[in-house]
Amino acid sequence: MTSDKSIKKKNSYTLDLTSLLPFKILLSEKENSLELIRGVMSGKINLDSIKLEIEKFFPILEEDVIFMIDNSQKVTLEYSANAHVSTKDVEILVQEVISKELPLTLFNRSTKKPMTYITRNLLGIPLIGSLYFGVIDRGTNLLQIRAITGCPLNCPFCSVDEGPASQTKIRDFIVDTDYLVDTYNQVVSEKLLKNTEAHLDGQGEPMSYPYLVELVQKLNDNPATNVVSIQTNGWFLEEKLIDELAEVNLSRINLSINTLNTQMGKKLSGRGDYPLEKILELAEYIANSNISLLLAPLWIPGVNDDDIEEIIKFSLKINSNGDKYPTLGIQNYLLHNQGRNMKGIKQKSFSDFNKQLREFEKRLGGKDLVLKPYMFNNYKTEMIQNPMKVNEIIDAKVVLFGRKENEIFAIAKNRLIHVINADNASIGKRIKVRIIRNRHNIFFAKPV
Ligand code: SF4
């Protein structure tokens, strides 16, 4: 039995976890866990795993570690010990436990799918080779930067079957900012680029990346970066975020708005809570900021024909790009065998599509509706080295489960390879695969 005297002898300490950790923290007594949230990303840490580690490394008993939450939602860790235990040392240990455990439960709150955090140290995974994340070089001065997968919308025409209602995507990925920027810097230097456009896009919504401002800032730190641009559906836009992005010199936002009509907006986004009015207000807010705005509607023949005319008029009204860039990039509806297609809608040929855009230019006064790369200062360049050929048999190491059933990722020759029909592969094992597709250093293979 512990005497009152020994209890009094114990020193008490408090760690303010809310200030310490770069997350919003929720304490759940029912689940005996801390939930850590940053934007769409969340993960849970079991309280016992922190307590047990503290007991293992310090003269502190597990029952003397208590997690508390106050009225202002501040979460603290309180502990008592007979000897002096530096809060700095406990802080470091808590951070270590979190960085070990968080990836195991990471979750994308907008898609409700498990999420894998890709870091430099994760099994040597390179950031070139995948369609889903990393850096893509298609032989121009524009590099595609993909930091996160997953999208909160369920557009019925989604070419990559994204969103919470996706029938094919079972997992999301997020990439560490520094690792992504280092890969970008390497590609820029391998290509000897001078005027680079770093274009944030992806299979999903790039603006859901919780470290977006930091990423834009770091891409701009490369002296060869001329433009940093981003695609977005507008779901995560806020005035505060636009201000922060303007501050770090984001050059352009390509905003997909497919209608100016609220009901049509709900139908085309697949969400009853799609905030079209708010997104339109924010489009005007961008147009009045230092960031250029490109409206990028998808023209779905027979569905939003009238809306396209309205969007052209809207773009003429809010145009603030001057002659720097076009303000409108109307997209042609295309059928996709890996994505979602709208019933009964046929795609237009590009010649018909361009002809109709020319007619719009004449009738409504929009200019440069048929977009060309030179309008964005994009031009062809050498590609980075492409180390594997189609039909080549490669010895590769399995490193990750993919985004679809039976898909895994393997690595070879410093490239990531999507391996399909890989039912029996297990992480860490070596397998032989045949490359079946290789375009722009994006590799698909099958086991042999
Ligand atoms: S916003 Fe884009 S990625 Fe998201 S569901 Fe719609 S089309 Fe797909």
Between the two ends of the chain, the Cα-to-Cα distance in Å is 66
pLDDT at 57: 95
CA gap 34, 95 in Å, rounded: 13
Does some domain include residue 337? yes
As averages over each run of 10 residues, the pLDDT of the chain (448 residues) reads: 52 94 94 96 96 95 95 95 91 94 94 94 90 97 98 96 94 96 98 97 96 98 98 98 98 96 97 97 95 95 94 86 81 90 91 92 83 93 96 96 95 97 88 96 97
- Same domain (yes/no): 49, 99: yes
Question: Which pair of structure tokens corresponds to residue 386?
Answer: 């492409």
If one residue of 40, 113, 154, 162 were mutated to test the ligand 1 pocket, choosing by the most ligand atoms within 8 A of its CB, it would be 162
Å from CA of 59 to ligand 1 middle: 53
CA gap 128, 215 in Å, rounded: 18
If one residue of 155, 167, 269, 338 were mutated to test the ligand 1 pocket, choosing by the most ligand atoms within 8 A of its CB, it would be 155
- Same domain (yes/no): 333, 355: yes
Closest ligand 1 atom, CA of 203?
3
CATH code for position 443: 2.40.50.140
Does some domain include residue 384? no
If one residue of 131, 132, 160 were mutated to test the ligand 1 pocket, choosing by the most ligand atoms within 8 A of its CB, it would be 160
Does some domain include residue 386? no
381 lines ligand 1 (CB under 6 A): no
What region, left, alpha or beta, does residue 7 occupy, with left being phi > 0 and alpha being psi -120 to 50 degrees?
A: alpha
Residues in the chain: 448
E strand residue ranges, 97-223? 107-108, 113-118, 134-137, 142-146, 172-175, 196-200
Å from CA of 343 to ligand 1 middle: 17
- Provide the 8-state DSSP code for 423: T
Residue range of the domain that includes 250: 113-376
- Provide the 8-state DSSP code for 133: S
Please give the tally of structural domains in the chain: 3
Does some domain include residue 383? no
Domain end residue (candidates: 81, 105, 129): 105
- Same domain (yes/no): 134, 97: no
Å from CA of 433 to ligand 1 middle: 31
Å from CA of 232 to ligand 1 middle: 9
Closest ligand 1 atom, CA of 151?
4
134 lines ligand 1 (CB under 6 A): no
CA gap 422, 389 in Å, rounded: 20
Sheet with 172-175, side-by-side order of all strands: 24-28, 33-38, 41-46, 107-108, 113-118, 172-175
> Do strands 41-46 and 107-108 pair parallel, antiparallel, or not at all (unpaired)?
antiparallel
Does some domain include residue 388? no
CA gap 168, 113 in Å, rounded: 12
153 lines ligand 1 (CB under 6 A): yes
Could you please report the per-residue DSSP string of 305-327?
Answer: HHHHHHHHHHHHHH---TTSS-S
- The residue whose CA has the least distance to atom 3 of ligand 1 is 204
CA gap 152, 158 in Å, rounded: 12
Does some domain include residue 385? no
Helix/strand/coil for 185: helix
233 lines ligand 1 (CB under 6 A): yes
- Same domain (yes/no): 276, 400: no
Domain end residue (candidates: 57, 89, 105): 105
162 lines ligand 1 (CB under 6 A): yes
Domain end residue (candidates: 328, 350, 376): 376
CA gap 220, 214 in Å, rounded: 10
Does some domain include residue 68? yes
pLDDT at 3: 44
- Same domain (yes/no): 262, 397: no
pTM of the predicted structure, to 2 decimals: 0.92
Long-range contacts made by residues 18-22, C-beta under 8 angstroms, separation at least 24? 18/73, 18/74, 18/75, 18/76, 20/91, 20/94, 20/95, 21/95, 21/98
pLDDT at 322: 66
155 lines ligand 1 (CB under 6 A): yes
- Same domain (yes/no): 416, 322: no
- The residue whose CA has the least distance to atom 6 of ligand 1 is 155
- Same domain (yes/no): 180, 265: yes
- Same domain (yes/no): 316, 435: no
151 lines ligand 1 (CB under 6 A): yes
Q: Which helix (H) or strand (E) holds 438?
A: strand 430-439
Å from CA of 161 to ligand 1 middle: 8
- Same domain (yes/no): 246, 278: yes
Closest ligand 1 atom, CA of 235?
1
Residue pair 37/23 in contact (Cβ under 8 Å)? The answer is yes
158 lines ligand 1 (CB under 6 A): yes
CATH code for position 137: 3.20.20.70
- Same domain (yes/no): 267, 297: yes
- Same domain (yes/no): 279, 418: no
- Same domain (yes/no): 359, 442: no
Question: Which pair of structure tokens corresponds to residue 265?
Answer: 């907006």
Does some domain include residue 322? yes
Question: Which pair of structure tokens corresponds to residue 366?
Answer: 């929009």
- The residue whose CA has the least distance to atom 7 of ligand 1 is 158
